[in-house]
Amino acid sequence: MAIYLSLNTGFKIPTLGFGTYMLKGDVLKSALDYALFLGYRHIDTALSYENEAAIGEVIRDRVHAGKLCRRDLFVTSKVPPAYLAYHAAVDSAKMSLDNLHLRYLDMLLIHQPWGLVNRGDGTLRPLDDKGQRELAIYNLNQTWQALEFLVSQGLVNSIGLSNFTTRQIDRIWKYAAIKPSNVQLECHSYLQQEQLEAYCSAKKIIISAYSPVGSPGKPDRKKDEPVLLEDPVVCDIAEELGKSPAQVLLNFLLQRNMVVIPKSSNAHHIDENFHVHDWSLTTDHKLAMKELDRSYRFFRFEWATCHPEFSDEHF
């Protein structure tokens, strides 16, 4: 299985990323430092995660110590929903670069198509007097134009989208001078995204799967939500192969030529997730895994359901 995939920009993206959503401070620094020690070379973050500065410290320290070369690292960040206006998008990328102590980003994504009000004070999730997020409408073509400008300035190598539907991706694709090279979205055995996968494959867009093992650490997880890591089919395959359920779930996506972005602060799980390239599921295993698809989302973005850019495809 490929350790790297080729983007339509000519750059290569590592197929195993280290997810950092909800990780902060010393917990993040310790986990990331260990991941880089093991050999992870793709870090996924976002301005809205509010953890870029901690990530930047780890990168800087490892580079200064001669333990890591910047050119061997692939860093992805994202433009937050309150920064979708042209100049705000440019500013957000520059903030990410400052936070990360980097001269360029390997990948910059528009985090979500659903805009939020920009108050001009750095608020990432503005709330109204009822405690609801303040939605705003932006011209996403102009947001994309800002990303293209960042590429022209050498501040970003490749650009893409996150949490966009097929129709939204196609809208950007038809407008874009620099085509999207990466789409990041929720994808796992319960949400296999085959229609979007077919579209992206035809356009040579690489898919990055977040929540690839079902987001077991999601803070607002409901009691009746299915636990993908405990699915009997997954567990039986794992036992047969002498692997963990998480490894089986990651391998299934990797064999579909996707990038996977598992997140963990647990050293054992970080190690386990790293060892997913040197073995493969059988055809029968993959057929059994394919039957698990139930179009189930762990992330529903209920705060955005009233936004004009929210569609039935997001449910």
N-terminal to C-terminal alpha carbon distance within the chain: 31
The strand pairing partners of 162, in sequence order, are: 184
Instruction: Write the DSSP assignment of 290-307 as a string of letters.
Output: HTT-----S---GGGTTS
Residue 203 CB-density burial (10 A; 0-12 exposed, 13-18 middle, 19+ buried): middle
Q: Which residues of the chain have pLDDT under 50?
A: none
- Round to whole Å and give the CA distance between 46 and 133: 19
Q: Give the active site residues.
A: 49
The encoded tokens of residue 228 equal 């993908």
Class of domain 14-308: alpha beta
**Cα 250 from Cα 227, distance rounded (Å):** 15
Do strands 115-116 and 135-136 pair parallel, antiparallel, or not at all (unpaired)? antiparallel
pLDDT at 314: 59
Please report the pLDDT score of residue 262 as a whole number.
Answer: 98
The pLDDT of residue 218 is: 79
Prediction pTM value: 0.97
Which residues of the chain form beta strands (DSSP E)?
4-6, 12-14, 18-19, 42-44, 74-79, 105-110, 115-116, 135-136, 156-162, 182-186, 206-210, 259-261
For residue 275, say whether it is annotated as part of any ligand binding site: no
Secondary-structure breakdown of the chain: helix, strand, coil percentages, each rounded to the nearest 5: 40, 15, 45
Per-residue pLDDT at 222: 80
Task: Enumerate the domain spans of the chain.
Answer: 14-308
Enclosing H/E stretch for 252: helix 245-254
Check if the beta carbon of residue 15 is closer than 8 Å to that of residue 260: yes
Q: What is the pLDDT of residue 1?
A: 66
